[in-house]
Structure 1
């Protein structure tokens, strides 16, 4: 039974109470058409929750289409208060799974909607507070307080780390984002060196964060555990495959995300979620104790909310001479601009106008992006099949359709096709190295802002291919690539990518920090 409370001296319309009840029934039935009709049309309706604010009817409807139902619950209290001509409805619900939730809605009557659900009442604004979760499995697989403590003192003391579920942590299993894989995985006896270096610098490991299945995607979608939220652009995908560490950092649940980057798996979520993210020089940080995807391209890297923290994490982990000198700054050839979406191109050009105050920018010719994508796809796929094909063959149906499709293509790459691909990749790497030398290449980190959760699969594949053709520049050459959150579009953030010569990881971050300081003054 629902206890209804109306503000003193006010009389709530019976039709409003019925509208609130009808909305709850539509939620329970996951009736998307009815739910869409309950929200006021147009660009001004709002819905907020812990993941962020959705503005506009289209954004709210898109979110609902990808979320699924809310699970059974009952409303135990309903409080109604007039707000001018509108009414504020605050309800307390009791989910069958336990806990208490809170929903606040501003309802407005419209004669134009009298024949639809709710008999003319429409929601103008809503805020949802879900029952507190002990752990959000979309972001985390295992958490602790901390899970592993770092040394008492060090340059990273006070920092907290979300570790991608590819890395060995003593006493834990590696799950690679797949429940069936986790069930068979052995308990690790030692920390991966890249994990240990952060602990030795004083950072605490908060927990193991989610990844796309086998890290074989750049979207961030995971059917086994759910899609991590993107707080920088609610209702959109988080980017992957370092999706869990990225979301943990963006949500403020960790200060450092330890991820990996094969085809953009740090740069893409950094771009989509407004973070700093570094793909390190290939081979500069040990991959021992890290589940492989394509060893020719796999690298360690980190995600942070600011450049200073990223620099500290990199200094704690990268050995060797950091004194590589950087040359001039160059732009990618015009074909890169043609590959990105118009809103990204506009934001990129606007940022370049500001950067020209600090640096002289010239254009450099790079190989055709189609060649880059095709060469990368063949050679990465061959390595992915060597790494994981035996397990995939033995576990049919264990991974999502898109990942299964990629492994199916990987299985089709013959030794002859791979050999031809390696010849092409070597040629492409030489062409890129000759064109870039010791310069810093700047280009957008991704071809688009984060796509919506309900984006058409064809659109996702389109932006995936365009993005991979750009991220392959660093992949082929083993160069470090840094994504910095300096661009914004109407649909969310997009990173600027700085690709430096091999071994320039630390000075590349330092250069970006100097530019950021100058940009703030401009």
Structure 2
């Protein structure tokens, strides 16, 4: 390491101690190196962390850094007891990085009060992507989606590639697909090109967005937070600007949850509207195809093309159901508001009041009446789809997913039959409520949880979230999450989506309505 000779010995020692702590991932020493309080800053390409506690939580979930040496240090005194250090890191695996730090003497110790990290260049983030190309597959040279790129969730068949399902053992045992899924082909015919295959939570059996094998994709909206799943990789790819469209699935919220957590638009389509051939199933009674985008106009273009007769070889035209606009009439389930966190509920009620929407309060009934039988049927189907493979490959899944499959294996035929019978009257209730209006509710209870949350905390959030997301799945209804709320979370301001749920087959009109609502509230998007 080289450095200006005027650097104080105490500062040099503090900087070198910090570097040793980084390389050994000594969390206590790293915490001690940063100044306490809520004014300490740390930034990188993923965003800005404010406050010692937020920085500490991020570091605890990040893990260590790759082996590196400091090959150059520049020191500049800024004031008495205040200094700037800029250091160049050389990584053992290749590449260089840059760290910029402001150090201050506080109560006799040199501490970091602000830091910015410029990481080394990487080919792609393996927590987001399984494989990428430029493009991986070229779409039609002309079409309504020309110039757009797609991140495909690793559950869809792509000719020449294996389906990995978020599990390395499954990927190793799979065979290359001989044809692409219709949902993939629709996008290619429209002119979109495939950017790559993006990570999924294992077997899509999660909504948190973490993966025990490949890591957790970043949340582009809230540094240090979970990205939401199971469509975690495609959602993060879109939120970070790596792709324009995420081709994903939604069984119990796997499009809507990451859309809410990362401030995206996300559409769960009407059940059975988009063909599921070439899609690895989790629970066919609820599995649907969906898309995520950064803006409503792009989502509208995707829905207009992929759900129209001209756009898809296998999807019947829904322009008949969507030709007329949906009514500007909204029904808010009281149980959904009660299930939201207080800050989310307050933000939602403020939005309703400020926009003067025509609102009617309605009742869905006890949300657990939806969740419990849903989980039973989902578990029965998930085990039928994957049980043989899991028995043949014991220990191949992460702990949380393994526990869900263990519970799924215990579902009896009588349990499943009773659960299906319990779901039918709930479907009837939902269909009646959306016959001449649109349901409006928070997409999730609150902002994305921290990546440092315990397994028990994440599981509690999962249950609370499923109470809000399963009714649309039970009804087989289209549901659109629109980024309309901002709520204070552990890492600062964070997005929370608002969901619109309409009658079956009105998917295109639902996106139009969502854009109109967004324009009315934000006055930023033309319809």
Same fold (TM over 0.5): yes
Equivalent residue, structure 2, for 1:43:
38
Q: Residues of 2 paired with 1:366 and 1:41: CA distance?
A: 47
Q: Residues of 2 paired with 1:329 and 1:355: CA distance?
A: 13
Deviations 1:81-127 (A, max 9, x none): 1122311111111122221111111101111xx4xxxxx01111111
SS of alignment partner, residue 5 of structure 1: coil
Check the 8 A contact 2:209/2:229 in 1, yes or no: yes
Shift of residue 293, structure 1, vs aligned partner: 0.3
Deviates more, 1:251-260 or 1:82-91: 82-91
Check the 8 A contact 2:300/2:512 in 1, yes or no: yes
Q: Residues of 2 paired with 1:407 and 1:108: CA distance?
A: 52
Equivalent residue, structure 1, for 2:144:
155
SS of alignment partner, residue 4 of structure 1: coil
Q: Choose the corresponding residue for 2:483, options 476, 482, 485.
A: 485
Shift of residue 205, structure 1, vs aligned partner: 0.3
Query: Aligned runs of 1:459-474 on 2, under 5 Å?
Result: 459-474=457-472
Equivalent residue, structure 2, for 1:117:
none
Deviations 1:270-310 (A, max 9, x none): 00000000000011111110100001000001000000000
Query: Aligned runs of 1:168-183 on 2, under 5 Å?
Result: 168-183=157-172
Equivalent residue, structure 2, for 1:338:
338
Shift of residue 169, structure 1, vs aligned partner: 0.6
Equivalent residue, structure 1, for 2:99:
103
Equivalent residue, structure 2, for 1:401:
399
SS of alignment partner, residue 37 of structure 2: coil
Q: What count of residue pairs does the alignment treat as equivalent?
A: 508
Check the 8 A contact 1:365/1:435 in 2, yes or no: no
Q: Choose the corresponding residue for 2:54, options 49, 55, 59.
A: 59
Q: Residues of 1 paired with 2:285 and 2:409: CA distance?
A: 17
Equivalent residue, structure 1, for 2:498:
496
Q: Choose the corresponding residue for 2:75, options 60, 73, 80.
A: 80
Q: Choose the corresponding residue for 2:188, options 173, 178, 199.
A: 199
Query: Aligned runs of 1:326-475 on 2, under 5 Å?
Result: 326-356=326-356, 359-475=357-473
Q: Residues of 2 paired with 1:130 and 1:354: CA distance?
A: 43
Is 1:516 aligned to 2:507, yes or no? no
Shift of residue 435, structure 1, vs aligned partner: 3.2
Shift of residue 521, structure 1, vs aligned partner: 3.6
Identify unmatched segments of 5+ residues in structure 2: 309-316
Shift of residue 5, structure 1, vs aligned partner: 3.0
Shift of residue 390, structure 1, vs aligned partner: 1.1
Q: Choose the corresponding residue for 1:322, options 319, 323, 328.
A: 319
Identify unmatched segments of 5+ residues in structure 1: 115-119
SS of alignment partner, residue 162 of structure 1: strand
Query: Aligned runs of 1:121-160 on 2, under 5 Å?
Result: 121-160=110-149
SS of alignment partner, residue 3 of structure 2: strand
Shift of residue 336, structure 1, vs aligned partner: 1.6
Check the 8 A contact 2:239/2:262 in 1, yes or no: yes
Deviations 1:387-431 (A, max 9, x none): 111111111111110000000000000001000010011121112
Check the 8 A contact 2:335/2:363 in 1, yes or no: no
| TM-score normalised by length of structure 2 | 0.94
Deviations 1:59-87 (A, max 9, x none): 10001111111132111111111122311
Deviates more, 1:429-438 or 1:387-396: 429-438
Check the 8 A contact 2:270/2:477 in 1, yes or no: yes
Q: Choose the corresponding residue for 1:185, options 170, 174, 177.
A: 174
Q: Residues of 1 paired with 2:474 and 2:251: CA distance?
A: 10
Equivalent residue, structure 1, for 2:314:
none
Check the 8 A contact 1:264/1:471 in 2, yes or no: yes
SS of alignment partner, residue 60 of structure 2: helix
Equivalent residue, structure 1, for 2:313:
none
